[in-house]
Amino acid sequence: MATSPVKDFLVTYVMPEKCYERIFVSFYINGPCLKFIMSRAVGLWILLDTFLAQLLQLLTILWRGSADGLSLSSVLLQLYAFSCPVVYAIANNFPLFAWGERLFALAQTAAIVFLILHYRGETLKGMLVLLAYGCLMLLLGSYAAAAAVSVMHTSSLAALIASKVLQAGTNYRNGHTGQLSTLSVLLSWAASLGVIFVSLQETESLFATLSHTVSACLSGILLIQVLCYRRNTATSRKKNE
Protein backbone atom coordinates (compact mmCIF):
# COMPACT_ATOMS: atom_id res chain seq x y z
CA MET A 1 0.00 0.00 0.00
CA ALA A 2 1.45 3.36 -1.05
CA THR A 3 2.03 5.95 1.63
CA SER A 4 1.50 9.68 1.22
CA PRO A 5 4.47 11.97 0.48
CA VAL A 6 3.62 13.99 3.59
CA LYS A 7 3.84 10.92 5.81
CA ASP A 8 7.09 9.85 4.17
CA PHE A 9 8.61 13.26 4.80
CA LEU A 10 7.42 13.52 8.41
CA VAL A 11 8.50 9.99 9.34
CA THR A 12 11.88 10.44 7.65
CA TYR A 13 12.82 13.86 8.98
CA VAL A 14 10.53 14.90 11.83
CA MET A 15 9.16 12.02 13.91
CA PRO A 16 9.14 8.22 14.28
CA GLU A 17 6.21 6.36 12.73
CA LYS A 18 4.60 5.57 16.09
CA CYS A 19 4.37 9.32 16.82
CA TYR A 20 2.89 9.93 13.38
CA GLU A 21 0.21 7.30 14.05
CA ARG A 22 -0.61 8.78 17.45
CA ILE A 23 -0.84 12.38 16.23
CA PHE A 24 -2.40 12.05 12.76
CA VAL A 25 -4.38 8.81 13.15
CA SER A 26 -5.35 8.70 16.83
CA PHE A 27 -5.23 12.51 17.24
CA TYR A 28 -3.35 12.17 20.50
CA ILE A 29 -0.14 13.96 21.48
CA ASN A 30 1.87 12.62 24.38
CA GLY A 31 4.91 14.07 26.13
CA PRO A 32 7.66 11.88 24.60
CA CYS A 33 6.47 12.48 21.02
CA LEU A 34 6.18 16.23 21.55
CA LYS A 35 9.66 16.33 23.08
CA PHE A 36 11.09 14.30 20.19
CA ILE A 37 9.47 16.56 17.56
CA MET A 38 10.69 19.71 19.29
CA SER A 39 14.22 18.32 19.57
CA ARG A 40 14.24 17.39 15.88
CA ALA A 41 12.87 20.79 14.85
CA VAL A 42 15.42 22.61 16.99
CA GLY A 43 18.22 20.48 15.54
CA LEU A 44 17.16 21.32 11.99
CA TRP A 45 16.98 25.04 12.83
CA ILE A 46 20.47 24.98 14.38
CA LEU A 47 21.74 23.25 11.24
CA LEU A 48 20.06 25.91 9.11
CA ASP A 49 21.79 28.61 11.17
CA THR A 50 25.16 26.90 10.67
CA PHE A 51 24.70 26.88 6.90
CA LEU A 52 23.01 30.26 6.37
CA ALA A 53 23.91 32.79 9.09
CA GLN A 54 27.45 33.49 7.93
CA LEU A 55 26.47 33.10 4.28
CA LEU A 56 23.83 35.84 4.62
CA GLN A 57 26.40 38.13 6.23
CA LEU A 58 28.90 37.37 3.49
CA LEU A 59 26.35 38.10 0.76
CA THR A 60 25.35 41.35 2.48
CA ILE A 61 28.95 42.58 2.40
CA LEU A 62 29.40 41.59 -1.24
CA TRP A 63 26.07 43.10 -2.32
CA ARG A 64 26.77 46.46 -0.68
CA GLY A 65 30.49 46.51 -1.41
CA SER A 66 31.29 47.50 2.17
CA ALA A 67 32.05 45.99 5.57
CA ASP A 68 31.35 49.20 7.47
CA GLY A 69 30.29 48.66 11.09
CA LEU A 70 31.58 45.11 11.37
CA SER A 71 34.11 44.55 14.15
CA LEU A 72 37.20 42.75 12.86
CA SER A 73 38.04 41.54 16.37
CA SER A 74 34.53 40.12 16.69
CA VAL A 75 34.74 38.24 13.40
CA LEU A 76 38.22 36.90 14.27
CA LEU A 77 36.80 35.52 17.51
CA GLN A 78 33.98 33.94 15.52
CA LEU A 79 36.59 32.40 13.24
CA TYR A 80 38.34 30.94 16.27
CA ALA A 81 35.04 29.68 17.71
CA PHE A 82 34.14 27.92 14.44
CA SER A 83 37.68 26.57 14.06
CA CYS A 84 37.76 24.81 17.44
CA PRO A 85 35.19 22.08 16.63
CA VAL A 86 36.83 21.51 13.24
CA VAL A 87 40.29 21.07 14.77
CA TYR A 88 38.79 18.79 17.42
CA ALA A 89 37.05 16.68 14.77
CA ILE A 90 40.17 16.41 12.60
CA ALA A 91 42.38 15.54 15.57
CA ASN A 92 39.98 12.79 16.64
CA ASN A 93 39.48 11.44 13.08
CA PHE A 94 35.74 12.08 13.04
CA PRO A 95 34.09 11.34 9.66
CA LEU A 96 33.51 14.42 7.48
CA PHE A 97 29.71 14.10 7.52
CA ALA A 98 29.80 14.63 11.30
CA TRP A 99 31.37 18.08 11.07
CA GLY A 100 31.21 19.16 7.42
CA GLU A 101 28.70 21.94 8.11
CA ARG A 102 31.17 23.47 10.59
CA LEU A 103 33.79 23.58 7.85
CA PHE A 104 31.29 25.38 5.62
CA ALA A 105 30.63 28.04 8.28
CA LEU A 106 34.35 28.35 8.96
CA ALA A 107 35.14 29.01 5.29
CA GLN A 108 32.44 31.70 5.12
CA THR A 109 33.76 33.40 8.26
CA ALA A 110 37.31 33.36 6.88
CA ALA A 111 35.97 35.03 3.72
CA ILE A 112 34.28 37.71 5.86
CA VAL A 113 37.59 38.42 7.62
CA PHE A 114 39.25 38.86 4.24
CA LEU A 115 36.48 41.15 2.95
CA ILE A 116 36.64 43.39 6.03
CA LEU A 117 40.35 43.92 5.42
CA HIS A 118 39.84 44.19 1.66
CA TYR A 119 37.27 46.99 1.96
CA ARG A 120 39.60 48.78 4.38
CA GLY A 121 42.19 48.85 1.63
CA GLU A 122 44.31 46.11 3.19
CA THR A 123 43.84 43.36 0.62
CA LEU A 124 47.41 42.03 0.90
CA LYS A 125 47.09 41.87 4.67
CA GLY A 126 43.85 39.94 4.27
CA MET A 127 45.49 37.42 1.96
CA LEU A 128 48.38 36.95 4.39
CA VAL A 129 45.96 36.48 7.29
CA LEU A 130 44.10 33.76 5.36
CA LEU A 131 47.37 32.06 4.41
CA ALA A 132 48.64 32.11 7.99
CA TYR A 133 45.28 30.89 9.25
CA GLY A 134 45.20 27.99 6.79
CA CYS A 135 48.71 26.90 7.80
CA LEU A 136 47.83 27.17 11.48
CA MET A 137 44.71 25.04 11.01
CA LEU A 138 46.71 22.39 9.18
CA LEU A 139 49.31 22.27 11.94
CA LEU A 140 46.75 22.18 14.73
CA GLY A 141 44.71 19.45 13.08
CA SER A 142 47.78 17.31 12.40
CA TYR A 143 50.15 17.90 15.31
CA ALA A 144 48.41 19.62 18.25
CA ALA A 145 48.46 17.79 21.56
CA ALA A 146 45.19 16.25 22.69
CA ALA A 147 45.10 18.50 25.77
CA ALA A 148 45.49 21.65 23.65
CA VAL A 149 42.76 20.53 21.24
CA SER A 150 40.44 19.80 24.17
CA VAL A 151 41.06 23.25 25.65
CA MET A 152 40.33 24.85 22.29
CA HIS A 153 37.09 22.91 21.97
CA THR A 154 36.00 23.95 25.46
CA SER A 155 36.83 27.61 24.89
CA SER A 156 34.86 27.98 21.65
CA LEU A 157 31.65 29.11 23.37
CA ALA A 158 33.54 31.73 25.42
CA ALA A 159 35.05 33.07 22.19
CA LEU A 160 31.61 33.25 20.57
CA ILE A 161 30.22 35.15 23.57
CA ALA A 162 33.15 37.58 23.49
CA SER A 163 32.63 38.16 19.75
CA LYS A 164 29.02 39.19 20.37
CA VAL A 165 30.07 41.55 23.16
CA LEU A 166 32.60 43.23 20.85
CA GLN A 167 30.10 43.61 18.00
CA ALA A 168 27.45 45.00 20.35
CA GLY A 169 30.00 47.48 21.71
CA THR A 170 30.95 48.53 18.18
CA ASN A 171 27.29 49.06 17.30
CA TYR A 172 26.78 51.17 20.42
CA ARG A 173 29.83 53.35 19.75
CA ASN A 174 28.92 53.86 16.09
CA GLY A 175 25.24 54.48 16.77
CA HIS A 176 24.36 52.13 13.90
CA THR A 177 24.91 48.50 12.85
CA GLY A 178 26.48 49.17 9.46
CA GLN A 179 26.49 46.14 7.19
CA LEU A 180 25.45 43.70 9.93
CA SER A 181 22.88 41.41 8.30
CA THR A 182 19.47 41.49 9.97
CA LEU A 183 18.58 38.00 8.75
CA SER A 184 21.91 36.64 9.95
CA VAL A 185 21.40 38.09 13.43
CA LEU A 186 17.81 36.82 13.54
CA LEU A 187 18.89 33.30 12.56
CA SER A 188 21.66 33.28 15.16
CA TRP A 189 19.32 34.49 17.89
CA ALA A 190 16.69 31.85 17.11
CA ALA A 191 19.35 29.13 16.92
CA SER A 192 20.84 30.21 20.25
CA LEU A 193 17.42 29.74 21.86
CA GLY A 194 17.34 26.27 20.33
CA VAL A 195 20.76 25.49 21.79
CA ILE A 196 19.43 26.37 25.25
CA PHE A 197 16.59 23.88 24.74
CA VAL A 198 19.04 21.16 23.65
CA SER A 199 21.33 21.96 26.58
CA LEU A 200 18.47 21.61 29.05
CA GLN A 201 17.44 18.28 27.53
CA GLU A 202 20.81 16.64 26.98
CA THR A 203 23.29 18.01 29.53
CA GLU A 204 23.34 18.24 33.29
CA SER A 205 25.89 21.05 33.37
CA LEU A 206 24.43 24.23 34.84
CA PHE A 207 27.49 26.18 33.66
CA ALA A 208 26.97 25.09 30.04
CA THR A 209 23.29 26.03 30.16
CA LEU A 210 24.09 29.44 31.68
CA SER A 211 26.77 30.03 29.05
CA HIS A 212 24.32 29.27 26.25
CA THR A 213 21.76 31.55 27.93
CA VAL A 214 24.28 34.42 28.03
CA SER A 215 25.06 33.80 24.34
CA ALA A 216 21.34 33.90 23.50
CA CYS A 217 20.85 37.13 25.45
CA LEU A 218 23.73 38.76 23.58
CA SER A 219 22.25 37.62 20.27
CA GLY A 220 19.01 39.22 21.40
CA ILE A 221 20.84 42.48 22.16
CA LEU A 222 22.34 42.45 18.65
CA LEU A 223 18.88 41.91 17.17
CA ILE A 224 17.45 44.78 19.23
CA GLN A 225 20.31 47.02 18.05
CA VAL A 226 19.64 46.12 14.42
CA LEU A 227 15.99 47.06 14.84
CA CYS A 228 16.50 50.19 16.98
CA TYR A 229 19.37 51.58 14.90
CA ARG A 230 17.57 50.96 11.61
CA ARG A 231 17.16 54.65 10.73
CA ASN A 232 20.74 55.53 11.73
CA THR A 233 22.03 52.55 9.78
CA ALA A 234 20.16 53.61 6.64
CA THR A 235 21.59 57.15 6.96
CA SER A 236 25.11 55.78 7.42
CA ARG A 237 24.79 53.61 4.31
CA LYS A 238 23.64 56.56 2.21
CA LYS A 239 26.66 58.58 3.34
CA ASN A 240 29.00 55.75 2.33
CA GLU A 241 27.47 55.29 -1.13
pLDDT of residue 1: 43
Q: Higher pLDDT residue, 92 or 8?
A: 92
pLDDT of residue 162: 96
| Residue 5 domain flag | no
- Residue 70 predicted with pLDDT over 90: yes
**Confidence bin at 33 (pLDDT 50/70/90):** confident
Instruction: Give the number of other Cβ atoms within 10 Å of residue 76's Cβ.
Output: 19
Q: Write the pLDDT tens digit of every residue in 137-187.
A: 888 877 877 888 888 888 999 999 999 999 999 999 999 999 999 999 999
| Residue 7 domain flag | no
| Residue 223 domain flag | yes
pLDDT of residue 119: 95
| Residue 2 domain flag | no
| Residue 4 domain flag | no
**Confidence bin at 78 (pLDDT 50/70/90):** very high
The number of domains in the chain is 1
- For residue 169, the enclosing domain spans 12-235
